[in-house]
């Protein structure tokens, strides 16, 4: 059995449908484990000071991972490796040795500096947590988690080789092992070592993530040779600089939001992270899927000078992102309580935690379409070799996130009308800690402005883009509003049928209400002769399972 597993790690999947089945299956398992992980954390701790400290411990390692490990991004390295493997294995080995050596020295040096600065930095960023009951645990967890960027960075580097050699199994199974390590830490390490055990679980998951890649790549490149080829290093760093800077700015903005949350009521950091994880699911399914799959095609078309075909592909992707995102936004807003209670509602995660997390999810959800379109526009600019404009716009957006979050917090605390309006709108009146809702609101407003700026510049260069996508927007938006009303009314009907004090009752209430609303939405779009629903119907009649699936790499721990 063990021998078969090792053979599978080394197997090359050259058939497109083989790779598609493999990656799709393990991506589903990884997402499922992620939901189980969050449910276990919510049930064990609730939205508490202990869980706030756990999530805060990720912030410095996350920033290091984005700022340093993105240099060895899969999307950056794979073209280099393929190019050199086509010439000779010696050139590929020399390239990997140079990048491996540079990354090892840089990452270890940065992590060592961060290790000693961690207590000071954490005291500056999270003074309330450091001064509380879990301050010591926050420092210890951060120290342990500093191992994760090193392990995952090396894993990403080796994953570039496995991708180039079509060894998809190790790449597909790694995220599952990472989540499994976190769950193992919660079940085994936490009872033994307390909160530090959770961090040990993350490190174990990262180590498993790396070991699988080592086993897979070991037969190709059995030995590592220290080598510092500054010509190779300069080229890779130069290519990844804009991407790294943009990701770092986004991570700093996220760090600022978590820091704001840490100043608020106990549990605010946990509420923010739970709602963030939930809104990331549709973003990954719709926005990331379309943009990652589209990128190779638009890069080829733009490089070949086929601007009309490039615009057609971008317009089609924007239409379908809009088509899928708007109904999801409405469903997430109307069914927010059912979603949160189904996924997280257990153990110590009480009704107040549910109401706050559901309200935060609603505010995050209003920017799902904007976030998805931003991913599309950024890929469009990258395909044309323009990395400067996305960088400037995203830096501006990162600043807006912080400004709006701070501004809405100020309004919420000082303007009673605004506070009462928000609390009444989202039904969180008389719930302590509602000020945390201003963070997802500020984030979403900034993202909508960011998407509008991208849209303005792209439409100015391609004037026919806007009218086509705008028509789709208004058709789907009006349909989604009606769909949302039907779902809301259905919830009231099923409220009298199911026992909402049980998980099956809450789940069935949301599921059946959602199905009825979606059915009504489909009928309306058919009556409107919507273009996108016709294209979706035609696509479903193709053998879509034979399409090659490209899994996006993680941009945080």
Question: What are the pLDDT digits (tens) for 161-198?
Answer: 665 555 556 666 778 888 899 999 999 999 999 999 99
Quickly state the pLDDT bin for 357 (edges 50, 70, 90).
Answer: very high
The backbone torsions φ and ψ at residue 14, rounded to the nearest 5 degrees and listed phi first, read -90, -25
Q: Is the pLDDT of residue 216 over 80?
A: no
Q: Is the pLDDT of residue 11 over 60?
A: no
Q: Is the pLDDT of residue 265 over 50?
A: yes
Q: What is the Cα 316 distance to its own chain's centre?
A: 23
Lowest-pLDDT range of 227-241, 313-327, 356-370, 467-481: 227-241
Quickly state the pLDDT bin for 380 (edges 50, 70, 90).
Answer: confident
Q: How many CB atoms lie within 10 A of CB 468?
A: 16
Tokens 């998809």, residue located: 168
pLDDT of residue 85: 55
Q: Which helix (H) or strand (E) holds 443?
A: helix 438-461
* Mean pLDDT on 37-54: 91
- C-beta contacts of 286-289 below 8 A and 24+ residues apart: 286/321, 286/324, 286/325, 286/328, 286/368, 286/372, 287/321, 287/325, 287/368, 287/371, 287/372, 287/373, 287/375, 287/376, 288/375, 288/552
Quickly state the pLDDT bin for 72 (edges 50, 70, 90).
Answer: low
CB 80 within 8 A of CB 236: yes
Tell me, letter by letter, the H, E, C secondary structure of 117-163: HHHHHHHHHCHHHHCCCCHHHHHHHHHHHCHHHHHHHHHHHHHHHHH
**Angle in degrees, 0-180, between the axes of helices 438-461 and 465-495, rounded to the nearest 10:** 150
Answer positive or negative: Cα dihedral of 216, 221, 225, 228. Answer: negative
Q: How far apart are CA 418 and CA 411, in angstroms?
A: 7
> Which two structure tokens, joined as six digits, stand for 380?
């469009």
Q: How far apart are CA 439 and CA 332, in angstroms?
A: 18
Q: How many CB atoms lie within 10 A of CB 349?
A: 27
- Integer CA distances (angstroms), 367 to 13, 355, 389, 401, 522, in order: 37, 20, 21, 12, 23
Quickly state the pLDDT bin for 553 (edges 50, 70, 90).
Answer: low
With H, G, I as helix, E, B as strand and everything else as coil, classify residue 530: coil
Q: How far apart are CA 315 and CA 319, in angstroms?
A: 6
Tell me, letter by letter, the H, E, C secondary structure of 67-101: HHHHHHCHHHHHHHHHHHHHHCHHHHHHHHHHHHH
> Which two structure tokens, joined as six digits, stand for 170?
């190790």
Per the document, the length of the chain is 557
Q: How far apart are CA 334 and CA 514, in angstroms?
A: 9
Quickly state the pLDDT bin for 12 (edges 50, 70, 90).
Answer: very low
The pLDDT mean for the chain works out to 82
Q: Is the pLDDT of residue 79 over 60?
A: no
pLDDT tens for each residue of 473-510: 999 999 999 999 999 999 999 988 988 888 889 999 99
**Angle in degrees, 0-180, between the axes of helices 388-414 and 368-383, rounded to the nearest 10:** 160
> Which two structure tokens, joined as six digits, stand for 131?
């001064």
Answer positive or negative: Cα dihedral of 458, 463, 467, 468. Answer: negative
pLDDT of residue 53: 94
Q: Is the pLDDT of residue 550 over 50?
A: no
Q: How large is the greatest C-alpha to C-alpha distance in the chain, in angstroms? A: 70
Of the candidates 70, 33, 34, 30, the residue with the CA atom closest to the CA atom of residue 273: 34
Quickly state the pLDDT bin for 364 (edges 50, 70, 90).
Answer: very high
Q: What is the Cα 228 distance to its own chain's centre?
A: 34
* Mean pLDDT on 452-459: 92
Q: How far apart are CA 223 and CA 185, in angstroms?
A: 32
Domain extents for the chain? 1-11+51-263
pLDDT of residue 273: 93
Which residues contact residue 22 at a Cβ distance below 8 angstroms, ignoring those fewer than 6 apart? 13, 168, 169, 172
pLDDT of residue 27: 61
CB 110 within 8 A of CB 28: no
Of the candidates 289, 477, 271, the residue with the CA atom closest to the CA atom of residue 366: 477
């Amino acid at each position: 059995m063990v021998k078969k597993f090792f053979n599978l790690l080394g197997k090359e999947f050259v058939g497109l449908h083989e790779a598609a089945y493999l990656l799709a299956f393990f991506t589903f398992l990884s997402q499922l484990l992620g939901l189980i992980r969050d449910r276990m954390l919510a049930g064990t701790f609730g939205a508490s000071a202990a869980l706030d400290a756990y999530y805060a411990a990720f912030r410095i390692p996350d920033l290091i991972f984005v700022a340093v490990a993105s240099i060895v991004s899969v999307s950056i390295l794979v073209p280099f490796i393929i190019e050199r493997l086509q010439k000779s294995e010696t050139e590929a080995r020399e390239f990997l040795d140079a990048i491996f050596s540079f990354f090892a020295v840089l990452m270890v040096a940065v992590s060592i500096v961060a290790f000693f600065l961690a207590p000071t930095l954490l005291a500056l960023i999270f003074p309330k947590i450091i001064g509380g009951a879990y301050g010591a645990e926050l420092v210890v967890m951060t120290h342990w988690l500093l191992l994760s960027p090193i392990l995952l960075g090396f894993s990403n580097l080796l994953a570039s080789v496995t991708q180039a050699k079509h060894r998809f199994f190790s790449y597909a199974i790694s995220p599952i092992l990472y989540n499994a390590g976190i769950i193992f830490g919660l079940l085994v390490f936490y009872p033994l070592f307390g909160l530090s055990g959770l961090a040990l679980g993350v490190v174990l998951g990262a180590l498993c993530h790396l070991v699988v890649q080592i086993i897979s790549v070991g037969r190709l490149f059995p030995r590592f040779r220290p080598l510092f080829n500054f010509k190779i290093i300069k080229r890779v760093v130069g290519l990844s600089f804009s991407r790294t800077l943009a990701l770092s700015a986004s991570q700093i903005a996220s760090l600022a939001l978590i820091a704001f949350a840490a100043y608020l009521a106990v549990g605010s950091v946990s509420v923010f992270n739970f709602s963030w994880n939930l809104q990331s699911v549709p973003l990954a399914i719709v926005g990331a899927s379309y943009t990652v799959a589209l990128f190779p095609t638009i890069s080829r078309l733009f490089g070949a000078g086929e601007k009309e075909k490039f615009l057609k592909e971008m317009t089609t992707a924007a239409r379908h992102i809009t088509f899928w995102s708007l109904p999801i936004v409405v469903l997430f807003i109307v069914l927010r309580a059912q979603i949160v209670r189904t996924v997280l509602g257990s153990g110590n995660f009480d009704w107040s935690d549910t109401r706050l997390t559901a309200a935060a999810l609603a505010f995050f959800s209003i920017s799902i379409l904007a976030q998805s379109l931003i991913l599309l526009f950024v890929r469009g600019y990258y395909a044309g070799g323009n990395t400067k404009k996305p960088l400037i716009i995203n830096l501006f957006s990162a600043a807006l996130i912080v400004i709006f979050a701070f501004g809405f917090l100020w309004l919420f605390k000082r303007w009673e009308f605004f506070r009462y309006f928000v609390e009444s709108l989202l039904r969180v009146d008389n719930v302590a800690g509602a000020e945390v809702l201003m963070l997802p609101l500020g984030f979403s407003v900034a993202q909508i402005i960011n998407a509008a700026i991208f849209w303005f510049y792209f439409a100015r260069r391609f004037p026919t883009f806007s009218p086509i996508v705008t028509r789709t927007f208004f058709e789907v938006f009006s349909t989604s509003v009606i769909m949302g009303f039907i779902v809301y009314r259905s919830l009231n009907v099923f409220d009298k049928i199911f026992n909402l004090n049980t998980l099956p009752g809450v789940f069935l209430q949301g599921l059946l209400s959602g199905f009825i609303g979606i059915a009504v939405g489909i009928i309306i779009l058919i009556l409107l002769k919507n273009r996108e629903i016709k294209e979706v119907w035609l696509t479903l009649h193709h053998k879509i399972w034979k399409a090659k699936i490209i899994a996006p790499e993680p941009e945080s721990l």
